[in-house]
Structure 1
Amino acid sequence: MPLKKSISGFRGTIGGKAGDNLTPEDIVANVAGYGAWLLKSGAPAKVVIGRDGRPSGPVVSALTAATLQCLGIDVIDCDFATTPTVEMAVVQHQAGGGIILSASHNPKEYNALKLLNSKGEFISAAAGADLMALAAAGDITYCSVDDLGSLTADDTALRHHINAVLNHPLVDVAAIRQAGFKVVLDAVNSVGAISIPPLCRELGVTCEVINGELNGQFTHNPEPLPQHLGDLMDRMKAGDADLGIAVDPDVDRLALIGPGGRWIGEEYTLVTVADYVLRHTPGPVVSNLSSSRAAADIAAHHGQEYFASAVGEVNVVAKMKEVGAAIGGEGNGGIIDPKLHYGRDSLIGLALVLSHLATSGKSINELRDGYAHYEMIKDKKEVDNTYDLDAAFARVRAKFPDVRTSDIDGLKLDFPDGWVHLRASNTEPIVRVYAEAGTKERAQELADGIKAEL
């Protein structure tokens, strides 16, 4: 995969030629750009790093830490850590920023540098443009031997994260413990295996783990979608567990499966959490344009406003702050609770789902039956760098002149009975084609009709 640079950071496959993939030269150049940007901003010369379970993690981590140290920046290394754990550790250590070494849901040959500011949040598009310019210019001065940064290990970051979840005002620890839940976790051979089970133990929840060996040799495609989770679905069909959960390699996405192997899904993770949060804390709900209408429906059910943002955690967070959201996230299973921190977090997501189950007395299947029903199609069109996306969008608009559209992120068409959202991926050379309607057949019909115009 060609090296991708965006507000999500720097992402590519390991190996190949410099400039084309995520090679040692590219890692050093881009980390140096980030370090130079951080020093230029006047933020503390301290950066927290952490990695998921990928085989390339140790090498990428070593290059990242050494580059920062050579700029005179102190490094706090959390080693194996979830994305939200690193985000919270930045604030805990009063660091100038953080770098998460994870390619999220991409296969094991990928890795990435996900860049944080001093608030433990993803850097803005403007900051990203600034640091990419610094990296491209190559005009970076490294420090002398007497000014090299230090390297310190931190083995307390996960404990700090779990404690914060347990102390969250809406996490009903007593009710969860009394309920005696059993969950089955697909940890996809990454840091979910060392983060979710200890949280469950603290909550008195029995946690059975599959794919729990932390080696980065993902047993299946690591994106938590139903077609990749056959083992977990079968386990939920056969057993007595109350909830099946799947996370991605860096544990910022949470998908739910009910007893009997019912796919609740990642889209309804936010709906379930929002339903619980709004029962206790009124306020707006925010998700991105590619998220289910069910999020807007649950907000309306509780008499609250709903707002849509552009896709991307940084955009959701910005909209949440703008409108004072009580809860937000993305339909890919990413829960953002501002009472904890402004980042997608499967640990707080799970704790709030369990709190909802415990206090409502309902199963996850019963909760799902009470929400508006939609079916979503997540399709794509592979493209190269010569593809004229603007011309494609113009063709689509011309084909459907009477349909309400939004262009704050790609092109979204809102039909009376569904919607289609088209956007270029920030991480892959594709155009994403998401569609939703009351039935899978109608959603597929909408997606196919729009794809024909692409």
Structure 2
Amino acid sequence: MFGTSGIRGPVGEEITATLALSVGRALASEGNRRVVVGRDVRESGTFLHEALAAGVQECGADVVDVGVAATPTVARAVSTLEADAGVVITASHNPPTDNGVKLWTPSGKAFGPDRREAISRRLREDDYDLAAWDELGSRRSCETTAADAHVRSLRESVSVSRTDAPNVVVDLGNGAAGSTARVLHDLGCTVRTLNGQEDGSFPGRPSEPTRETLTDLMCMVAETDADLGIAHDGDGDRMLAVDGTGAFVPKDALLALFAVDAAGSGDRVAAPVDTSLAVDDALADVGASLTRTRVGDVYVAERTAESDVVFGGEPSGAWIWPDQTLCPDGPLAACKLVELVSRDGPLSELVSDIETYPIERDSIEVTEKSAVMERVRERVERRYDVAEPGIEIDTRDGVRVSLTDGWFLVRKSGTQPLVRVTAEARDEAVARELFHNARELVRNATADH
């Protein structure tokens, strides 16, 4: 039921009021006596929010309602409002047909495997501790408290000289992250917004910010005196950027910029197994290193809880500063990027200093992806000798083979009948060869059954 980012799917099919009610009941039955509940701007969130809150109250726990709010606002509010857990009704960057449920701990980290399984078990077994009529939970509204606390934390997290404050265009994607524009204005930036009206049908552009969906932002930045552009997804946990020339900032380059800014000698940065060598090399220049995780911001967040990990990022646009919160926080990332530009100069120049390498990607349709992946793993272990210097095999999420001059990753899709192949090297010919070898591994494994 739970994916790497909570429960998510089409409304009226996988996501229903009945499901939301059950999740609320399960949360309270698991001993969470006070639960923060918020939602993004999707219209379906209205009844899902009400149903989940009703389930919490029905099992004797109290609801703290923060209304329409960005995911990081809700995640931070769990601690601020002294709650035991938090819930966001959201499908994040998914299309408007979808919705879902994300669950948060007081640290700002998403529920881990044990807590997710406890909720899933109660849903499977219909096992809830319904309260007596005179022991039902209460409900109170704290919309302003949660929003103001998040804004205050953002202001305090960065330092921007008002004389050097950048001119910024913020593309809110019709979503819930309006706090970004508010904070940047307070910091002295000239701020213009794009797609600023909250609308869960996402009429301005698709909810997910990508190079392909941010053409309006790119044009607006290029044709004005803006120094950079910021873009969020529907629930504000993601942030991507456009430089002052109107060029989309490559995701791995943005990860490298944030990582180097946060890390010093001996520090570690957490990022998924498909992260570019550009990040490794940028960190090596400052005496820091990269520690790889499974793909998914929940796994990155888990690693950032370790004491010497100072930052975590996923190229999808999820950025985590563990000294602030273990939740990906798009508005915080926007403020950090503006601080970086105001201090170190144009974003285009900062990006140009990050060395990038040839990378190849493909997706191969298969019918039995788990079986194919097992055969790929067996073939890799026969073909590559980890006793040889420079060879490493990582099977924590797919099969990643690191060689002295590059790497490749074979990983099954979590949602589609696909196996994804990625290869990167510092030399283009080597990248092509690694990519060819990895793709052949998948094709041969597919033909084996």
Structure 2 letter corresponding to 1:83: T
Q: How does 1:137-176 map to 2 (within 5 A)?
A: 137-155=125-143, 156-168=145-157, 171-173=158-160, 175=161
Taking every aligned residue pair, what percent have the same amino acid on both sides? 29
1:48–1:76 Cα contact (<8 Å) kept: yes
> Counterpart in 2 of 1:259?
244
- Aligned partner of 2:352 among 353, 364, 369: 369
Gap change, CA 1:199 and 1:70, over 3 Å in 2: same
Counterpart for residue 309 of structure 2: 325
Q: How far apart are the structure 2 equivalents of 1:389 and 1:375?
A: 27
CA contact (8 A) 1:7 1:128 kept: no
Q: 1:378 to 1:23 in 2, by over 3 A?
A: farther
Q: Which residues in structure 2 correspond to 1:56-205 (within 5 Å)?
A: 56-155=44-143, 156-168=145-157, 171-173=158-160, 175=161, 177-192=162-177, 194-205=178-189
Contact persistence 2:6–2:101 (CA under 8 A): yes
Q: How far off is 1:355 after superposition?
A: 1.5
TM-aligned CA distance change 1:437 to 1:250, over 3 Å: farther
CA 1:304–1:182: 2 relative to 1, 3 Å: same
Match of 1:295 among 253, 261, 279: 279
Distance, in Å, in 2 between the alignment partners of 1:49 and 1:162 is 18
Q: Counterparts of 2:77 and 2:362 in 1: how far apart (Å)?
A: 36
Matched, 1:5 2:2: yes
For 1:439 and 1:162, locate their aligned partners in 2 and report how far apart those are by CA, in whole Å. Answer: 45
Q: 1:306 — aligned with what? A: 290
Contact in 1 for aligned 2:70/2:236 (Cα 8 Å) = yes
Q: The residue matched to 1:190 in structure 2 has which SS? A: coil
Structure 2 gaps of 5+ residues are 386-390, 444-449
2:228 is aligned to 243
RMSD in angstroms over aligned alpha carbons? 2.6
**2:9 partner amino acid:** G
Give the CA deviation at 1:146: 1.4
Distance in 2 of aligned mates of 1:384 and 1:245: 39
State the secondary structure of the residue aligned to 1:366. helix
* CA shift digits 1:325-377 (9 cap, x unpaired): 122222222211122111211222122212221222x2001111111213555
Q: Aligned-pair distance for 1:417? A: 4.3
Residue among 353, 373, 376 paired with 1:390: 373
Cα displacement (A) at 1:36: 2.1
Gaps of 5+ in 1: none
- Give the residue type in structure 2 aligned to 1:241: A
C-alpha separation in 2, matches of 1:24 and 1:293? 44
Q: Is the 8 A contact 2:59 2:137 kept in 1?
A: yes
1:401 shift after superposition: 3.2
Structure 2-normalised TM-score? Answer: 0.88
Q: Which amino acid aligns with 2:356?
A: H
SS of the residue 2:57 aligns to: helix
User: Judging changes above 3 Å, is the alpha-carbon distance between structure 1 residues 163 and 95 closer, same or farther for their aligned structure 2 residues?
Assistant: same
CA contact (8 A) 1:97 1:119 kept: no
* Rounded Cα–Cα distance in structure 2 between residues aligned with 1:187 and 1:442: 40
Q: How many residues in Structure 1 have an aligned counterpart in Structure 2?
A: 435
Equivalent of 2:18, from 17, 21, 25?
25
Contact in 2 for aligned 1:418/1:443 (Cα 8 Å): yes
Distance 1:439-1:450 versus aligned 2 partners, 3 A rule: same
Task: Return the offset for 1:382.
Answer: 5.3
User: For residues 145 and 315 of structure 1, do their structure 2 counterparts lie closer, same or farther at Cα, with a shift above 3 Å needed?
Assistant: same
Amino acid at match of 1:368: V
